[in-house]
Amino acid sequence: MLNLLNHTAGLDWNLIDADDTDGSLAAFVAQLDRLPLIAPPGARASYSQAGYSLAGLVVENVTGMPFEKAVAELVLEPLGLSDTVYDLDEVVVRRFAVGHHRAEDGTVTLARPWKSWRAGTRGNNPGGGIVSSASDLLRWARFQLGDGEGLLPAQALARMKQPTVGLRGSALGDALGICWFLRDVEGVRTVGHGGSGNGQFAELLLVPERDFAVVSLANIGPDGYQFNQAVLKRAPELYLGVVEREPEPLPYDEEQAREVAGRYETDAMNLDIAADAGRLTLAVGIKPQIRAASDVQMPPDYPAAEIGFLPGEGEEYVIAEGGLKGQRGFFSRGADGTVTGVDLAGRLFSRV
């Protein structure tokens, strides 16, 4: 289970084109054999919502309840998280915000669908199907900063916030705990996790030793991520005096840029690195064939944005502009020394 909960199972990000006619979590998980293993289990961390779908099926088998019902009865209801739900029918009877997209020309459009209604998307619920509110997220933060409130032993709650595997060159954190991203900033441990959907962006950050938490939500892309990150950096600085320094990229290196330029992919997305006119750029988006085959609107792609290498021998980089500004990653090499992959947002994209 730890391999699933700290993203070291070796599974790719997610299964996009699953057959959703059955509508059950078990049917979704049964199709995961189509996902390639990107590494042997336990070898490295790579963010995988598919792994959480498998963990969710374990919850169903242990409790004898549908995953969503188990979460509601065992966690949400005891904590009073009344605005945290999975079912769209429950969302529409509450106050909710719709997502938006801002095009490069400034045009703003609604992000549709707000949350997919198809039964087959239950397969994604354990890894990213929950809907919540700022107030509920703060209640969740208070629980995480407490003693478990009788739901979970205090030692188990604390164990979730201890490193289980290191993260290299990531804006998400220095390590993964159990379900949490961990970072030490000026000697102070921060614990957090974010999420995004179609025109929706959310971030939760805890500083346990200071009994501090901050939530930031945005409902417009592509800059919602940037907005949330600015809030998460400014709040600890303003209230705690904890300052996270921005990394300084190195000058452009033509030879190094040409070596990493090319196309990389996951099961669902393409990532293109290009070197031209003294600039190294990164563009990432949903594969055209998947977008063309979809019967619902999908989030827009991220256009080419300049990236720069960071000091050190790890071939780490930072995105310097655009909707993903501040995201970091690194390039990986095979046994023969050639570049074989690139990490972005905790996910491995393999070279084509």
pLDDT of residue 187: 94
Are both 238 and 216 inside the same structural domain? yes
Domain stop point among 245, 264, 280: 245
pTM here is 0.88
Q: Is 105 inside a domain boundary? A: no
Q: Are residues 55 and 147 in the same domain?
A: no
Query: Is residue 229 situated within a structural domain?
Result: yes
Q: Which structural domain range is residue 302 located in?
A: 254-351
| Domain identity same for 7 and 121 | yes
Distance, in Å, from the CA atom of 34 to the CA atom of 12, rounded to the nearest integer, reads 10
Number of domains, the chain: 3
Q: Which amino acid is at 82?
A: S
Residue 119 confidence (pLDDT) above 50: no
- The answer to whether residues 159 and 183 belong to one domain is yes
Is 86 found in the same domain as 10?
A: yes
What pLDDT is stored for residue 57 in this prediction? Answer: 96
Q: Is residue 99 domain-resident?
A: no
Q: Which of 270, 123, 111, 266 is nearest to 196 (CA)?
A: 111
Residue 100 lies in a domain: no
Residue with tokens 């921060």: 190
The stretch 17-42 carries a mean pLDDT of: 81
Task: Inform me whether the pLDDT recorded for 223 exceeds 50.
Answer: yes
Residue 260 belongs to some domain of the structure: yes
Beta bridge pairs of residue 330: 316, 343
Beta 220-221 vs 100-102: how paired, if at all? parallel
Q: Residue 323 half-sphere exposure, CB side, CA atoms within 13 Å? A: 23
Please give the Cα distance from 131 to 115 (Å, whole number). 9
Instruction: Quote the mean pLDDT of the chain.
Output: 91
- Tokens of residue 333, six digits: 């090499």
318 in a structural domain: yes
What is the per-residue pLDDT across 156-204, written as a single tens digit (0 to 9) for each?
Answer: 999 999 999 999 888 889 999 999 999 999 999 999 999 888 889 999 9
At residue 16, the pLDDT reads 64
Domain final residue pick, 245, 262, 292: 245
**Domain match, 208 and 331 both:** no
Residue 102 maps to a domain:
no
Give the contacts of 283 (CB within 8 A, at least 6 positions apart): 271, 272, 274, 301, 302, 303, 304, 305
Please say if the pLDDT value at position 275 is more than 90. Answer: yes
Task: Answer yes or no: is 103 within a domain.
Answer: no
Q: Are residues 149 and 227 in the same domain?
A: yes
Residue showing tokens 């009994």: 211
pLDDT tens-digit readout, 33-71: 888 888 899 998 988 988 999 999 999 999 999 999 999
> Are 115 and 190 within one domain?
no
Residues 122 and 139 in one domain: no
What is the pLDDT confidence band of residue 77, given thresholds at 50, 70 and 90?
Answer: very high
The CATH number linked to 136 is 3.40.710.10
Q: Are residues 274 and 219 in the same domain?
A: no
> How far is the C-alpha of 71 from the C-alpha of 77, rounded, in Å?
9
Look at residue 104 and tell me whether its pLDDT is greater than 80: yes
Last residue of a domain, one of 191, 217, 245: 245
pLDDT score of 204: 98
Residue 222 and residue 281 share a domain: no
Q: What is the CATH number of the domain that holds 286?
A: 2.40.128.50
Do 1 and 121 belong to one domain? Answer: yes
Highest mean pLDDT among 95-109, 129-143, 298-312: 129-143
Question: In what side-by-side order are the strands of the sheet with 175-176?
Answer: 165-166, 175-176, 181-185, 188-197, 200-207, 212-218
Query: Does 30 score more than 80 pLDDT?
Result: yes
